[in-house]
């Protein structure tokens, strides 16, 4: 039985309160009635998330949490007390606890807070912490390579860019001079590993590189034309800032995508922008 994780457990017995599930090693956990179906029977396997409820009892849920043990996420602060803060982690009737000792920086009710979730060794309970640096590190062997697509969680803003968590494992950096759309602390998005230095610093881009980048940008440009009635107010001669603001692309990427569409005869340039050629 693994607290803080999603796992498949078998129905061992049925009670008035719900179904008892087992891990096959004699440990049982209750799946309350609100998460069960009438057709469930002994022996059936159920995919559940296991955690402690407000009464400190081990309980299972078929709801999918916003964070699991060993992961980083930006969670909304629901409430605060003298002991700590309570976060919305996607489970009904139960919030994730962020103790005062684990807080770092401003933790404000109604706002999101970037946290790492771990299992307390003494109590076995799921606990959050803002002090994520000890849990995320870049050491040999890295689990990513240049060109890999990665899950990106924006953790901190710096004068030169944003420090991000990659796949809940490694630190990465997105430089402001390579951003062509707004991002903020707490955002989660896709990214691509652009560079890995000898000292294992990982540079990340929110745009694909090479041919894949062009193909993605072409599809994006075509979709934007569709959404704007076949006309966009930027072209090959537009200011890079205007291109970035309107398309979330760098001028270089935009020109390559536009060049592909021009070559395919799908668009034409005008004095004020580009327009789709209807056939």
Task: Give the contacts of 131 (CB within 8 A, at least 6 positions apart).
Answer: 102, 104, 116
φ, ψ at 216 (rounded to 5°)? -65, -40
Average pLDDT over residues 33-50: 93
Residue with tokens 């599809």: 219
- Place 279 in a pLDDT band, splitting at 50, 70 and 90: low
Longest dimension (CA), the chain: 75
Residue 212 has pLDDT above 70, yes or no: no
- Place 250 in a pLDDT band, splitting at 50, 70 and 90: confident
Average pLDDT over residues 108-119: 96
Distance in angstroms (rounded) separating the CA atoms of residues 106 and 117: 18
User: What confidence score (pLDDT) does residue 24 get?
Assistant: 82
Distance in angstroms (rounded) separating the CA atoms of residues 256 and 8: 48
Give per-residue pLDDT as tens, 123-162: 999 999 999 999 999 998 899 999 899 999 999 999 999 9
In this predicted structure, which of 16-25, 182-191, 228-237, 246-255 has the lowest mean pLDDT? 246-255
Q: Count other C-beta atoms under 10 Å from residue 146's C-beta.
A: 12
User: What confidence score (pLDDT) does residue 210 get?
Assistant: 63
In this predicted structure, which of 64-68, 136-140, 244-248 has the lowest mean pLDDT? 244-248
- Place 40 in a pLDDT band, splitting at 50, 70 and 90: very high
Average pLDDT over residues 47-71: 94
User: What confidence score (pLDDT) does residue 67 get?
Assistant: 97
Domains of the chain in start order, with CATH, are 6-61 (2.40.50.140), 72-133 (2.40.50.330), 149-205 (2.40.50.140), 211-276 (1.10.10.10)
Percent of the chain with pLDDT over 90: 63
Give per-residue pLDDT as tens, 161-208: 999 999 999 999 999 988 888 899 999 999 999 999 999 999 999 887
Average pLDDT over residues 100-109: 94
In this predicted structure, which of 10-14, 54-58, 212-216, 245-249 has the lowest mean pLDDT? 212-216
- Place 34 in a pLDDT band, splitting at 50, 70 and 90: very high
Helices (H), 100-209: none
- Of 98 and 106, the structure prediction assigns the larger pLDDT to 98
Q: What angle, rounded to 10 degrees, do the helices at 240-247 and 210-227 form?
A: 70
Distance in angstroms (rounded) separating the CA atoms of residues 113 and 118: 16
- Averaged pLDDT of the chain: 91
**Contact yes or no for 165/152 (Cβ under 8 A):** yes
Distance in angstroms (rounded) separating the CA atoms of residues 107 and 129: 11
Average pLDDT over residues 20-28: 90
Distance in angstroms (rounded) separating the CA atoms of residues 136 and 47: 28
With CA atoms as reference, report the closest residue to 110 among 83, 86, 81: 86
């Amino acid at each position: 039985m693994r607290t803080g994780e999603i796992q498949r457990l078998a129905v061992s017995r049925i009670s008035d309160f719900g179904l008892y599930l087992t891990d096959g090693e004699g440990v049982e956990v209750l799946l309350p009635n609100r998460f069960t179906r009438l057709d469930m029977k002994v022996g059936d396997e159920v995919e559940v998330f296991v955690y402690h409820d407000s009464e400190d009892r081990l309980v299972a849920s078929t709801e999918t949490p916003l964070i699991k043990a060993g992961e980083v996420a930006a969670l909304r602060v629901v409430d605060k007390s003298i002991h700590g803060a309570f976060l919305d982690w996607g489970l009904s009737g139960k919030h994730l606890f962020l103790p005062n000792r684990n807080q770092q920086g401003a933790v404000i009710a109604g706002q999101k807070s970037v946290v790492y979730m771990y299992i307390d060794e003494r109590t076995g309970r799921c606990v959050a912490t803002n002090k994520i640096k000890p849990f995320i590190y870049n050491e040999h062997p890295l689990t990513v390579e240049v060109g890999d697509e990665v899950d990106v969680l924006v953790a901190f803003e710096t004068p030169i860019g944003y420090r991000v968590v990659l796949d809940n494992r490694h630190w990465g950096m997105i430089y402001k001079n390579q951003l062509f759309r707004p991002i903020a602390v707490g955002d989660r998005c896709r990214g691509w590993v652009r560079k890995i230095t000898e000292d294992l610093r990982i540079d990340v881009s929110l745009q694909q590189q090479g041919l894949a980048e062009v193909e993605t940008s072409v599809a994006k440009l075509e979709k934007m034309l569709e959404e704007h009635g076949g006309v966009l107010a930027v072209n090959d001669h537009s200011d890079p800032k205007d291109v970035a603001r309107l398309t979330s692309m760098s001028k270089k990427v935009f020109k390559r995508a536009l060049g592909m569409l021009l070559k395919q005869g799908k668009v034409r340039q005008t004095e004020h922008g580009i327009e789709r050629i209807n056939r």
